[in-house]
Amino acid sequence: GENVEQHPSTLSVQEGDSAVIKCTYSDSASNYFPWYKQELGKGPQLIIDIRSNVGEKKDQRIAVTLNKTAKHFSLHITETQPEDSAVYFCAARQNTGNQFYFGTGTSLTVIP
């Protein structure tokens, strides 16, 4: 099966700086890679995703890059704000089947 690894497990940045979270996956058949943000007391919320036919996707201050050859993808948050503080999860999924494989999460703290 698929194995998703996520780093770092914790990340602290100053407000206004950028944050980068990285994930690797093992199964080359995976072709969909979402990122979720989970705030305290809430369920994970989909914030951005990327499919294997593109290398980069951007949505305002958030971007995701995918390197299929190396089997890794990254979340980039620019101009961080205190409200970006949360736990972020990456995931991978194949075109067939029902299962998403999640990373262990990154706790991001943005220091005002």
Partner 1 sequence: ETGVTQTPRHLVMGMTNKKSLKCEQHLGHNAMYWYKQSAKKPLELMFVYSLEERVENNSVPSRFSPECPNSSHLFLHLHTLQPEDSALYLCASSQAPQSSYEQYFGPGTRLTVT
- Binding residues for partner 1, per CB under 8 A? 4, 32, 34, 36, 41-46, 49, 51, 89, 93, 95-105
Of 16 and 55, CB closest to partner 1 = 55
With respect to partner 1, which residue has the nearer C-beta, 71 or 100? 100
| CA atoms lying within 13 Å on the CB side of residue 39 | 7
CB of 27 to partner 1, least distance (A): 15
Give least dist CB 17 to partner 1, A.
Answer: 26
Min separation Cβ 14 and partner 1, Å: 26
> Which of 36, 80 has the CB closer to partner 1?
36
